[in-house]
C-alpha cells in the first residue's frame, strides 16, 4: 500500500484527482468507481476544474457508485444519486447511460445486487475505485464484521455510522438504517484503489486500516490485500500513523509522483 501525506485537504484532493486524470489520459474509456461523503468533494471539484479548464474528457467513461441508502428516491437531497448529480455528474460529460448507482428503491434487492455485480463484469471491471473511510473504518457501507469477501448486498448501518451521518439529515431518526453497498470483495477486484481521508476524526481509522491487522472489524484494512492501493491523507488524518517518515521518504524519492 502506498501512503501519501499532504499538508491539507486541498492538496490531498489535488493529488487524488491527478491520479484519476492520469488514468483517463492513458485510458479514456476507463471504468471509475465513485464514492460519496464529504471527503471526495474536493477531488470531484478538481476533476470538474480539469474538465472545464484543461479539457479532461469523460465522454467514454463509465461509472459505478459504491452505495446508496435504502428507501431514498433519487431526487431526495440526501440520496447518493442526488449527491453525485449535484457535485459531479452535471458538471462533466459522462453519458447518462454510462452512470450506474445502486438503487435505493428497487422492489427486489437481491436481484438488483446480482444485476449490479453482473453489470460491473460486463463493463470490464472497475479500473479505479475511489474510496472514503467511515470513523468506524468502513469502506462503502461495509460496517465492522462485514466479510472481506462480501459482494454487493443490503447492509444494516452501525450506530456509529448513523450518528456520523445524522448531520446531513434533519433528525437522527431520518437516517436510513439500511444501505445497498458493493462488498469488500467487489471493491478489492478493482484494478486500482485510492482512499482519501481528511481531519482528525479519521486519524484512528486510518492508523488501523494502514498499520493495524487485516480484520473485518475495520474493513478498510482489506486494502492491505490489494496490489495497487493508495491512501491519500492530510496532516490531521495522518496524525496516528507511526511510519509517516517512511511514507514521506518513499514519496519524495518517487520521480514521477503527482504533485502540484
Ligand atoms: C458514508 C459513505 C462512505 C464514506 C463515509 C465517510 O458512510 N458510505 O463511502 O466514506 O460516509 O464520509 P465523510 O467523507 O463524509 O466522512
Least confident of 176-180, 194-198, 256-260: 256-260
Mean pLDDT confidence for 50-67: 98
pTM: 0.96
Compute, in angstroms, the gap from residue 21 CA to the centroid of ligand 1. 22
Q: Name the residue of 87, 132, 133 whose CB sits within 8 Å of the most ligand 1 atoms, as the mutation to test its pocket.
A: 132
Compute, in angstroms, the gap from residue 205 CA to the centroid of ligand 1. 12
pLDDT value for 116: 98
pLDDT value for 203: 98
pLDDT tens digits, one per residue of 97-147 = 999 999 999 999 999 999 999 999 999 999 999 999 999 999 999 999 999
Cβ–ligand 1 distance for 39 under 6 Å, the answer yes
**Interior/surface letters 4-22, b for 16+ CB within 10 angstroms, e for the rest:** bbbeebebbbbbbbbbbbe
Helix, strand and coil content of the chain, in percent to the nearest 5, comes to 40, 20, 40
Compute the distance between CA of residue 239 and CA of residue 241 in angstroms, rounded to an integer.
Answer: 6
Phi and psi, residue 195, nearest 5°? -115, 130
Where do the structural domains in the chain lie, given as residue ranges? 2-253
Mean pLDDT confidence for 176-187: 98
- Cβ atoms 231, 210 nearer than 8 A: yes
**C-alpha cell belonging to residue 209:** 486500516
Q: Give the chain's mean pLDDT.
A: 96
To the nearest 10 degrees (0 to 180), the angle between helices 9-26 and 41-54 is: 50
pLDDT value for 121: 98
Q: Which residue matches cell numbers 484494478?
A: 191
Q: How confident is the model at residue 254 (pLDDT cuts 50, 70, 90)?
A: confident
Cβ–ligand 1 distance for 37 under 6 Å, the answer yes
Q: Name the CATH architecture for the domain at 2-253.
A: 3-Layer(aba) Sandwich (3.40)
pLDDT value for 210: 98
Amino acid at each position: 500500500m502506498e501512503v501519501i501525506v499532504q499538508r491539507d485537504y486541498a492538496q490531498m484532493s489535488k493529488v487524488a484527482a491527478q491520479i484519476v486524470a492520469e488514468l483517463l489520459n492513458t485510458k479514456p474509456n476507463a471504468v471509475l468507481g465513485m464514492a460519496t461523503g464529504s471527503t471526495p468533494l474536493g477531488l470531484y471539484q478538481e476533476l470538474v476544474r480539469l474538465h472545464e479548464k484543461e479539457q479532461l474528457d469523460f465522454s467514454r467513461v463509465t461509472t459505478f457508485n459504491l452505495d446508496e441508502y435504502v428507501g431514498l428516491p433519487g431526487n431526495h437531497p440526501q440520496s447518493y444519486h442526488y449527491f453525485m448529480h449535484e457535485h459531479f455528474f452535471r458538471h462533466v460529460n459522462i453519458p447518462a447511460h454510462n452512470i450506474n448507482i445502486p438503487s435505493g428503491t428497487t422492489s427486489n434487492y437481491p436481484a438488483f445486487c446480482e444485476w449490479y455485480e453482473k453489470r460491473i463484469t460486463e463493463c470490464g471491471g472497475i479500473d479505479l475505485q475511489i474510496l472514503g473511510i467511515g470513523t468506524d473504518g468502513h469502506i462503502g457501507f461495509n460496517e465492522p464484521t462485514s466479510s472481506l469477501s462480501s459482494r454487493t448486498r443490503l447492509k444494516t448501518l452501525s450506530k456509529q455510522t448513523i450518528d456520523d451521518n445524522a448531520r446531513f439529515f434533519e433528525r437522527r431518526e431520518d437516517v436510513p438504517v439500511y444501505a445497498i453497498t458493493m462488498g469488500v470483495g467487489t471493491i478489492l477486484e478493482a484494478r486500482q484503489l485510492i482512499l482519501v481521508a481528511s481531519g482528525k476524526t479519521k486519524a484512528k481509522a486510518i492508523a488501523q486500516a494502514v498499520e493495524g491487522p487485516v480484520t473485518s472489524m475495520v474493513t478498510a484494512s482489506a486494502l492491505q490485500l490489494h496490489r495497487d492501493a493508495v491512501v491519500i491523507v492530510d496532516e490531521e488524518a495522518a496524525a496516528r500513523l507511526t511510519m509517516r517518515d517512511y511514507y514521506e521518504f518513499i514519496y519524495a524519492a518517487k520521480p514521477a509522483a503527482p504533485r502540484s
